[in-house]
Amino acid sequence: MNSFKHALRGPDMVLGAWLELGSCNVAEVMVANGWDILIIDGEHGPGGLEDWVTLSRTVTAAGGTPILRLPDADETMIKRALDRGFKNFVVPMINTAEHAKQVVSAFYYPPRGHRGYAAPVVRGSGWGSDTAYATHTSHHDLTIMLQCEHIEAVENIDAICAVDGIDAIFIGPNDLAASAGHLERL
C-alpha cells in the first residue's frame, strides 16, 4: 500500500517540502533531516521527466516519499510519469469538475479511465516483472491531488471536490491571487 496515501488518511502528522532544486544531494539531506515527503516540482522546477525519476529514486532510497507536481494536466505526461513508477501526484491548474474528471480518468486503465496499457515494458510494473500489480492493484496506490489556483476553481470548488478519485486539493495562493486581480499584493 502507498504509505503516503495511508498517511493522508491517518492521524499522524506528515512533514513535506517542495523540492525546487534538481539536486539529489539536497533531496537526500532533506529526507535525512526529517522531511517525510518531497514534492518534486515539475511545473516550476528544473529538469524533465528522467531527472524527476532520478530524484524520486533518491528520495525513496533515503526513506522518503516522492510526489511529482506535473508541469500541467497533459495526459501524455501523466501516462509517462505513471509508466516510470510515480504514484503520488499534484496536478496544477484545475478549474472545473469536467477538467478534474478528465484528468482523473487519465490515471486509470479502462473501464474506470482511459490510460494506455504498457505494463509489460515499463518501470511502473517492475519492467514487466509485476504486470498483475500494475494491471489490477496499482490504482489503489495512486494519490491524486489537484491544484486549484484560479478564481474559476474557487467558484467550482464543491463540484471539483465531488469528483471521484481525488485524494486532496491543493490551493495555489499566488496564481489564485493573480487571477482575482491581486497580483500586486504578492
Residues noted as catalytic? 44
Beta strands per DSSP E along 20-142: 37-41, 65-69, 88-91
**Cell numbers given for 63:** 526513506
- Between CA 95 and CA 78 the distance in angstroms is 18
| Single-letter residue type at 120 | P
Asked whether the beta carbons of 27 and 34 are under 8 A apart, the reply is: no
The alpha carbon of 113 is separated from its chain's Cα centroid by a whole number of angstroms, namely: 17
- Between CA 37 and CA 34 the distance in angstroms is 9
- Backbone angles phi and psi of 171, in degrees to 5: -100, 130
